[in-house]
């Protein structure tokens, strides 16, 4: 099967040095920038009115009209250190850096990192609100730090940004340290219904919680289109932007009629719905800025969920999304749904935003970027795994598994919008989990845990293995991971 071997080599390049590769072999034929509201399908709004919901950036700019700004700062653990990830709309013109030290007024060390970016849709050049957009992602790592120790840091100004405040973080307790600690564990957040979760997180930080562990479905960026799809009965908040009445027939709220200030992005999907923005990328930007009160203070560890995969998951009545994303038809219908891998703009496929907007210690712990990795904290070993891709019959399967007959590649219509990965190598059949790098890594990672130092082993992925509500993927997650977790005595498995 020479052809298959060549295909596998091509597949394993989905992540090259942590930088994702997006398949473009069939053209994208949708709108240049999908905007999830027919009432106002423009990037920066045109005065039709949206509730205002502006989140402050991580660093307050020195002037009212900054040319560039640090909008997001997010901490994560790396072995014996801390990773500082920060985001700006435009480049820095130099290597990103962080000044740090043991005391707030003695930041005598400086460490440099690297920057990555992607062709997000819309680009930050198209979004007028400089303090609400991120397109350049900066990675700076502080290594060889002492465990359980507080350090101080500051991001210096560069290319129009303002210096951050002097901030602090505390490194992980050493493996084997018997001190107590608390962790905030959460899944499925988004924005509209997550006010309570946010308050609990802020409270947890103020009470000394060590870190947050978020098992997927962070921003619900893909909810940009909920102002387009007809409302479903089980949606708590909804407005069908194609109509002029609200569900239940209530009047249009006054704030919907109030024009936005010039240049402000329409960052609420509709009077009663959307997640928070009618733009996929702005949902990410604003959710990350909302979480700034947490992510600048404690490490925020994440793993992938289904809402990170692509710009949409399913079509609505009349196949309104297929009409829009495939044909660029506003407020139209099609006889058949045809959401394919190529329906989303390239930057909204294959977990691309997710891969850029965080930095987890995959590379540092033998895993893969933000998909699978592990870390120790005191008496516990924490393992994040990817329940979306990279095992047999994974829910967001790579589209190469759709190859039929003599095909080398599936046709566009044989693919699906959430097809993703694999992000690690597949050495053998796609139908056997033991072929996958993720499985090999998990087995190795669990085997080398020193239970004298870290007697507790916790694993999380987004997907439940068991549930009273049946879904077929549960069986596949069980088949992939249950026996290896039992073999190595994993104490608890968390999921969303
Ligand atoms: Fe989910």
- 422, 390 contact by CB (below 8 A): yes
- 415, 398 contact by CB (below 8 A): no
**Statement: residue 227 has pLDDT above 70:** no
Q: What pLDDT is attached to residue 392?
A: 97
Q: Residue range 305-313: average pLDDT?
A: 97
Q: Give helix 472-487 / helix 437-447 axis angle, nearest 10°.
A: 30
**Statement: residue 20 has pLDDT above 90:** no
Q: What pLDDT is attached to residue 108?
A: 97
Question: How far is Cα 53 from Cα 37, in angstroms, rounded to an integer?
Answer: 16
Residue 281 vs residues 120, 288, 417: alpha-carbon distances, Å:
7, 11, 17
Grade residue 462 by pLDDT with cuts at 50, 70 and 90.
very high
Task: Give the domain range for residue 254.
Answer: 72-495
Half-sphere exposure of 420 (CA within 13 A, CB side): 35
Q: Decide if 436 is inside a domain.
A: yes
**Statement: residue 328 has pLDDT above 50:** yes
How much distance in Å is there from the Cα of 304 to the middle of ligand 1? 9
- 276, 191 contact by CB (below 8 A): yes
**Statement: residue 274 has pLDDT above 90:** no
How many distinct structural domains can be found in the chain? 1
Q: Which of 401, 399, 397 is nearest to 386 (CA)?
A: 397
**What burial letters (b/e) apply to 391-407, b meaning 16+ CB within 10 Å?**
bbbbbbbbbbebbeeee
Between 434 and 41, residue with greater pLDDT: 434
Question: How far is Cα 194 from Cα 197, in angstroms, rounded to an integer?
Answer: 5
Q: Residue range 97-103: average pLDDT?
A: 98
Q: What pLDDT is attached to residue 362?
A: 98
How much distance in Å is there from the Cα of 152 to the middle of ligand 1? 36
Q: Decide if 20 is inside a domain.
A: no
Q: Which of 203-217, 256-270, 315-329, 444-458 has the lowest mean pLDDT?
A: 256-270
How much distance in Å is there from the Cα of 381 to the middle of ligand 1? 24
Q: Could you tell me how many residues make up the chain?
A: 496
Q: Decide if 64 is inside a domain.
A: no
How much distance in Å is there from the Cα of 496 to the middle of ligand 1? 6
Bridge partner list, 16: 19
Q: What pLDDT is attached to residue 6?
A: 34
Residue 257: Cβ within 10 Å count = 10
How much distance in Å is there from the Cα of 327 to the middle of ligand 1? 28
Question: How far is Cα 49 from Cα 39, in angstroms, rounded to an integer?
Answer: 9
Q: Residue range 270-296: average pLDDT?
A: 81
Q: What pLDDT digit, counting tens, does each position of 379-419 carry?
A: 999 999 999 999 999 999 998 888 888 888 899 999 999 99
Question: How far is Cα 214 from Cα 198, in angstroms, rounded to an integer?
Answer: 12
Grade residue 478 by pLDDT with cuts at 50, 70 and 90.
very high
Between 465 and 228, residue with greater pLDDT: 465
β-pair type (150-154, 300-302): unpaired
Q: Decide if 37 is inside a domain.
A: no
Q: What pLDDT is attached to residue 226?
A: 73
Given the structure tokens 């073999």, which residue do they identify? 487
How much distance in Å is there from the Cα of 167 to the middle of ligand 1? 33
Tokens of 194: 């997550």
Residue 378 vs residues 264, 274, 445, 467: alpha-carbon distances, Å:
46, 41, 17, 31
Burial of 244 (0-12, 13-18, 19+ CB in 10 A): exposed
Residues ≥6 apart with Cβ < 8 Å to 265: 43, 44, 45, 127, 128, 129, 132, 277, 279, 282
Q: What pLDDT is attached to residue 246?
A: 47
How much distance in Å is there from the Cα of 337 to the middle of ligand 1? 22
Grade residue 244 by pLDDT with cuts at 50, 70 and 90.
very low
Q: What pLDDT is attached to residue 390?
A: 97
Chain center to CA of 373: 15
Give the mean pLDDT of the chain: 88
**Statement: residue 75 has pLDDT above 50:** yes
Between 128 and 29, residue with greater pLDDT: 29
DSSP H helical segments within 126-244, as ranges?
Answer: 195-206
Q: Decide if 108 is inside a domain.
A: yes
Q: What pLDDT digit, counting tens, does each position of 40-60 carry?
A: 778 876 555 454 567 899 999
Q: What pLDDT digit, counting tens, does each position of 355-384 carry?
A: 999 999 999 999 999 999 999 999 999 999
How much distance in Å is there from the Cα of 454 to the middle of ligand 1? 30
DSSP H helical segments within 346-449, as ranges?
Answer: 352-356, 437-447
- 319, 333 contact by CB (below 8 A): yes
Question: How far is Cα 415 from Cα 431, in angstroms, rounded to an integer?
Answer: 17
Q: Decide if 38 is inside a domain.
A: no
Q: Decide if 12 is inside a domain.
A: no
Q: What pLDDT is attached to residue 243?
A: 45
Q: What pLDDT is attached to residue 380?
A: 98
How much distance in Å is there from the Cα of 306 to the middle of ligand 1? 5
How much distance in Å is there from the Cα of 486 to the middle of ligand 1? 25
Question: How far is Cα 88 from Cα 94, in angstroms, rounded to an integer?
Answer: 13
Can you say whether the dihedral through the CA atoms of 421, 425, 431, 435 is positive or negative? negative
DSSP H helical segments within 183-275, as ranges?
Answer: 195-206, 254-257
- 387, 463 contact by CB (below 8 A): yes
Cis link prior to 122 (omega < 30° from 0)?
Answer: yes
Question: How far is Cα 51 from Cα 237, in angstroms, rounded to an integer?
Answer: 14
How much distance in Å is there from the Cα of 462 to the middle of ligand 1? 7
Q: Decide if 482 is inside a domain.
A: yes
Residues ≥6 apart with Cβ < 8 Å to 411: none
Q: What pLDDT is attached to residue 248?
A: 46
Q: Which of 404, 413, 232 is nearest to 326 (CA)?
A: 413
């Amino acid at each position: 099967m020479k052809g298959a071997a060549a295909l596998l080599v091509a597949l394993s390049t989905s992540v090259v040095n942590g930088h994702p590769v997006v398949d473009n072999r069939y053209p994208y034929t949708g709108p240049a920038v999908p905007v999830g509201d027919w009432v106002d399908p423009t990037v920066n709004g045109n005065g039709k009115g949206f509730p205002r919901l502006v989140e402050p950036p991580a660093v307050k700019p020195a002037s009212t009209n900054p040319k560039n700004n640090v909008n997001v700062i997010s901490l994560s653990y790396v072995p014996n250190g801390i990773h500082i990830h920060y985001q700006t709309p435009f480049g820095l013109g130099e290597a990103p850096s962080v000044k740090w030290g043991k005391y707030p007024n003695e930041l005598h060390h400086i460490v440099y990192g690297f920057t990555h970016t992607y062709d997000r849709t819309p680009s930050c050049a198209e979004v007028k609100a400089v303090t609400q957009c991120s397109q350049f992602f900066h990675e700076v790592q502080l290594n060889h730090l002492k465990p359980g120790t507080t350090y101080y840091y500051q991001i210096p100004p560069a290319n129009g940004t303002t210096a951050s405040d002097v901030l602090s973080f505390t490194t992980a307790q050493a493996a084997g340290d018997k001190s107590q600690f608390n962790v905030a564990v959460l899944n499925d957040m988004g924005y509209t219904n997550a006010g309570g979760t946010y308050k609990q997180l802020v409270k947890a930080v103020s009470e000394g919680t060590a870190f947050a562990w978020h098992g997927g479905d962070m921003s619900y960026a893909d909810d940009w289109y909920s102002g387009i799809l007809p409302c479903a009965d089980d949606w708590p908040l909804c407005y069908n932007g194609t109509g002029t009445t609200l569900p239940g027939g209530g009047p249009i709220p006054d704030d919907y009629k109030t024009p936005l200030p010039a240049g402000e992005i329409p960052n609420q999907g509709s009077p009663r719905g959307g997640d928070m923005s009618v733009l996929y990328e702005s949902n990410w930007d604003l959710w990350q800025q909302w979480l700034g009160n947490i992510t600048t203070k404690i490490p925020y560890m994440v793993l992938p969920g289904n809402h990170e995969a692509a710009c949409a998951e399913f079509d609505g009545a009349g196949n309104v999304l297929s009409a829009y994303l495939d044909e660029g038809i506003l407020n139209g219908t099609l006889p058949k749904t045809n959401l394919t891998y190529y329906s989303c703009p390239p930057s909204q496929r294959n977990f691309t935003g997710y891969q850029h907007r965080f930095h987890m210690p995959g590379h540092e712990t033998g895993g893969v970027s933000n998909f699978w990795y592990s870390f120790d904290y005191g008496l516990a070993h924490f393992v994040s795994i990817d329940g979306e891709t990279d095992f047999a019959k994974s829910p967001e399967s790579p589209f190469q598994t759709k190859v039929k007959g003599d095909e080398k590649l599936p046709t566009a219509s044989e693919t699906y919008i959430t097809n993703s990965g694999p992000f690690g190598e597949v050495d053998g059949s796609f139908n056997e989990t033991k072929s996958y790098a993720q499985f090999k890594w998990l087995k190795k990672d669990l085997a080398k845990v020193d239970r004298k130092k870290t007697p507790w082993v916790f694993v999380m992925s987004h997907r439940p293995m068991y549930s009273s509500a049946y879904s077929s993927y549960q069986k596949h997650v069980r088949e992939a991971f249950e026996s290896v977790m039992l073999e190595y005595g994993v104490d608890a498995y968390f999921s969303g």
